[in-house]
Amino acid sequence: MSRKCVMSRRYFRSTLKWLTPGMGVKRWLLLLACGIALLSLGFSFLLRQLYPLPSIFYYLTFQFIPRGLRAGLFGLAGIVAVVIALLRLNRTLLEPFVEADPEVVVNAIYRYRQRERGPKVVAIGGGHGLSVLLRGLKQYTSNITAVVTVADDGGSSGRLRRELGVLPPGDFRNCIAALANDEALTTQLFQYRFGNGTGLNGHSFGNLFITAMAEVSGSFERAILESGRVLAVQGRVLPSTLQDVTLMADLRDEANGLSRVSGESRIPQSGGAIERVYLKPDNVSAYPDAVRALLEADLIVAGPGSLYTSVLPNLLVPDVARAVAASRALKVYVCNVATQRGETEGYSVGDHVAALEAHVGAGLFPVVLANDNLDVDFDPPLGVELVPVDFPPDAGYRVITADLIDPTHPWRHDGHKLAQALLRLL
């Protein structure tokens, strides 16, 4: 079969795909058809006013054959003309963009329309766990809002925070990269981390970009918005608060008793069992757009991520917790696949939820999603193990289990499995 014939068949298939439900095209084709019909009707009224017409119109309008047959011929000719016009229009529009397969553009538009109609999901957290969830969710909906903690004070983010007084950009950078429409070269550049150089060593390009954008645009929230536009993200990334907060922790150690630690990055390294975490100052205002997103959501997800240093810092902002409680959305806590050294060593699913409820109250997340695939062969570091699905029989929450493990990284969630399990709950 010749290349020309193959391309013609592909253009024909892509033309038919415009009529697939959800493309948002059929309504406009119907409006076009109605417009043509009205124009034809107006033209016929005009011809009526011009009677008697020249005798040539007797032959041009086939008046020498029966009226029924004449209507069929004109109708068939009109259908053929419309089909040819659509085929040629489809080919003309798509040729500049796609040489190999015109269906690529049609499929991309179809997926875009489907995601546009997806549920409104708000994901609360920070760190790598939130990024994994966002990568899975963006395949199904573009109505995503990530509410991110601003308590990070380690690594590149911590240095920028201390030296320039900006909010920590690291978790925001990871979420923006996760929501990017194409995680190709630009996203890789955004995630690039300098390995040497005076002053640059350890910094990521994305962190520096967001910090510079904050200086240029005049605000951190504007910098996040503009950075998202650069990478064409599907959704929004918002801070839980714009105020400078420090995460504090009370820890209990068998040798030294109760101690207090200041700083998110120091808490897992302190070696004691975490009794509670809190923000300093404790009565900070929530970012208004984050509250609005929570109130308008169809699904609110807390986690996955570090329980004490990524998930809870958002919920410790009073207005965020109140908005979650007031929202009519389905509220789900996603328990981590594996325990985290320095935070949740030896924790079961029930222990995770108990710690969450001890900080924000019972019933805030009535559904808990946990991994039930514990038959995984991997060599975990000290203090890390798969979280057993154990919880009190009289628990005031419902536990839903599924295989959520990433086979290549068994201590992490698989983003696609997690997104599918969450959307099934809706």
d(CA 178, CA 390): 31
Question: Quick one: average pLDDT of 292-303?
Answer: 97
Residues 125 and 77 occupy one common structural domain = no
- Note whether 59 and 146 are same-domain residues: no
* Domain span at 305: 119-150+240-425
CA distance from start to end of the chain: 47
Most confident among 38-42, 184-188, 202-206 (mean pLDDT): 202-206
SS in 3 state form for 264-319? Answer: CCCCCCCCCEEEEEEEECCCCCCCHHHHHHHHHCCEEEECCCCHHHHHHHHHCCHH
Confidence of residue 74 (pLDDT cuts 50, 70, 90): confident
| pLDDT band of 53, cuts 50, 70, 90 | low
Query: Position of tokens 């910090």?
Result: 211
Within-domain flag for 279: yes
d(CA 299, CA 143) in angstroms, rounded, equals 11
Task: Look up the CATH number of the domain holding residue 127.
Answer: 3.40.50.10680
Are 329 and 299 contacting, i.e. CB atoms less than 8 angstroms apart?
yes
- Identify whether residues 284 and 413 lie together within a single domain: yes
* pLDDT above 70 for 2: no
- Give the separation between CA 9 and CA 59, rounded to whole angstroms: 37
Task: Establish if 300 belongs to a structural domain.
Answer: yes
Split into its structural domains, the chain has a count of 2
- Give the global pTM: 0.78
- Whether 194 is in a domain gets the answer no
11, 142: one domain: no
Decide if 92 is inside a domain: yes
Co-location of 137 and 37 in the same domain: no
Distance of CA 96 to the CA centre of its chain: 30
Which tokens sit at 406? Answer: 């990433």
Spatial separation of the C-alpha atoms in residues 420 and 404, rounded to whole Å: 10
% of the chain with per-residue pLDDT over 70: 85
pLDDT over 90 percentage in the chain: 52
pLDDT band at 45 (very low <50, low <70, confident <90, very high): confident
